[in-house]
Amino acid sequence: MRQLQAIFLMLLLAAGIHADTITLKGIGKSQPIRRLTIDKVDYLSAADLFTAVGARTDWQEGHKELKVVLGNRRLSFEVARPLCKVEDNEYNLVHAPVLRGDELYLPVQQSLFLLSDVLERVLVYDDGEATITAVREGFNVSGVNFLTKVNGDLLEINLTKKLDYEVFVSEGNWVNVTIHGGRVDVLHLTRKNPHEKIINVRAFQFANSAQVSVQLRENVVEFHDNYAPDPHRIQISIENTTFVSQAEDSTTLQRHDEYNPIDVIVIDPGHGGDREGAEGKNGLKEKDVVLDIALRLETILENGKHFTPVLTRREDKNVSLEERAQLANVARGDLFISIHANSSDQKSATGSQTFFLSPAQNDEARITALLENQDFQIDNPDATDRNKKDLDFIIMDVLQTEYLN
C-alpha cells in the first residue's frame, strides 16, 4: 500500500499537482477538506466541502454529475464543464470541476463566492493559512476577485445580495466602488491580495454604505461596470491597452461604446434532429457537419484556456431557436457563433461566408436571414412582423409552402 501511495504522489508531482488539506471554520463541521492545486489553481473536494456544510449530495456516475441540495437551493456540477447550475440558472466557475480517482474537486474561489450567496454568509479563503472562514452574519460584501482575459481584465466585488453601487477611478489607478447598504468585514476583505496585477485592496465601512478600493498596477484608461446575479456581484471590465495597441491598424479598429471583455462564447451548430439542413450528393447532412465543426471548435477554445465555450447542442436533436437564445442568455454569452454549411452540385465549390447581426440592407441579405430563421417563423407564426416588406412575405410564403409539402 505504501508503494502505491508513493507512486500516486510521484504522479501528482509529475503532473504539477499538489495535494493537502484545509480547515473550514465558523460554519458547519470544523473538519479537514482535501485540496488539490493544479496549474496554480486550487480545488476542494466537493464531498468534504458539502458534508461539512450539511448538504445532501447525489453523484450521477453516468453523467459524471454531482447534484447538491443545500438548504432550499439545488445545485449541480459536471466534470469538465465550467458552468454549474443553481436552480434554473447557470453560473460560470471559470475553471471546470475535475475528477481525481472517484472524487470530484471544485475550484475554490468561485465555488466559495457561489456558496456565500447560497448560505448568505461570507466565506473567506486563506490559502497561506489553509483555512476557509465563515465570518459572522450581517456582512453582505463577501470578497474581491480579479480575472485576466485575453483582451482585458475583470474586477469583481462579490455580494450576498443585490445592492446599488457607484464606481469611480481616482489618481494612482484606484478603482473605487461605493456600495449603498453595504456591510463589509474590513479585516477579512483586505488581508489578502487576490492577484499579482493588484497593488493594494482597501475597505471602508460607513454608516449607510461601504467602499471597496482596489489599486491596480496598470493604468485604467476605459472601464465598463454592470451587476451580475447568481451569485450577486459587481463586475468592472477594464480595457487592456496593450491588447488594443497590438492591432495592425488601431486607427481603423471598430470599437463599441461599452467595452466588455470576452469570456463566454456560445457555439451554435445549426439544425439538428429532423431539421437536417443542406444535403450533399452522397447524403452527407449539414446538421452532422456543423456539429462536428462545433465540437472541434470547442476543443480548440478549451485548450487555449482564454475562453469558456458553451454549445447549444452536443448531439443530433431538435433545438428551437428560442431555446438556443435562452441558453445563450442564461450562460451570459459574450459572443454567439452559429455554424451552418451550404451544398452545391459543383465539386469545385469552396470558400466561406460570414454574417453578423445587423438589419438586412438588401434583398440578398433578407433572403439569407429568412432562410436561416425559418425554423423560428414556422414554430412561431404569430411572430411575423406585419410591417415587413412585400418581398419578405413572398419569401416566407414560399418557405412555409416548401416546409408543409
119-148: pLDDT as tens digits:
777 787 888 888 888 776 678 898 898 887
212-268 tens-digit pLDDT: 999 998 888 888 899 987 678 899 998 764 443 333 333 333 333 344 467 788 899
Given CATH 3.30.457.10, say whether it is the number of domain 2-134.
Answer: yes
Q: Which residues contact 283 (CB under 8 A, 6 or more apart)?
A: none
Q: Please state, in angstroms and rounded to a whole number, the distance separating the CA atoms of residues 2 and 10.
A: 12
Confidence of residue 193 (pLDDT cuts 50, 70, 90): confident
More confident residue, 173 or 136: 173
Residue in this structure with the C-alpha cell 454568509, named with its chain if needed? 121
CA triplet 320, 372, 315: central angle to 5 degrees?
45
Q: Which of 34-43, 249-258, 331-340 bottoms out in mean pLDDT, i.e. has the lowest?
A: 249-258
What is the residue extent of each domain of the chain?
2-134, 141-245, 262-354, 357-405
293-318 tens-digit pLDDT: 999 999 998 888 778 889 989 999 88
CA 15 vs. chain centroid, Å, equals 26
Q: What is the mean pLDDT of residues 28-55?
A: 88
Q: Which of 108-112, 147-151, 286-290 bottoms out in mean pLDDT, i.e. has the lowest?
A: 147-151
pLDDT value at position 65?
93
Given CATH 2.60.40.3500, say whether it is the number of domain 141-245.
Answer: yes
Q: Please state, in angstroms and rounded to a whole number, the distance separating the CA atoms of residues 279 and 54.
A: 54
Q: Please state, in angstroms and rounded to a whole number, the distance separating the CA atoms of residues 303 and 309.
A: 11
3 state DSSP class of 289: helix
Q: Which CATH superfamily is domain 262-354 in?
A: Zn-dependent exopeptidases (3.40.630.40)
Helix (H) or strand (E) holding 322: helix 321-330
Q: Three cell numbers at 405?
A: 409539402
pLDDT value at position 295?
94
Q: Three cell numbers at 311?
A: 454549445
Confidence of residue 82 (pLDDT cuts 50, 70, 90): confident
> Are 79 and 138 a contacting pair, CB within 8 Å?
no
Instruction: Kindly report the pTM of this predicted structure.
Output: 0.45
CA distances from residue 351 to 192, 341, 348 in whole angstroms, order as listed: 53, 11, 10
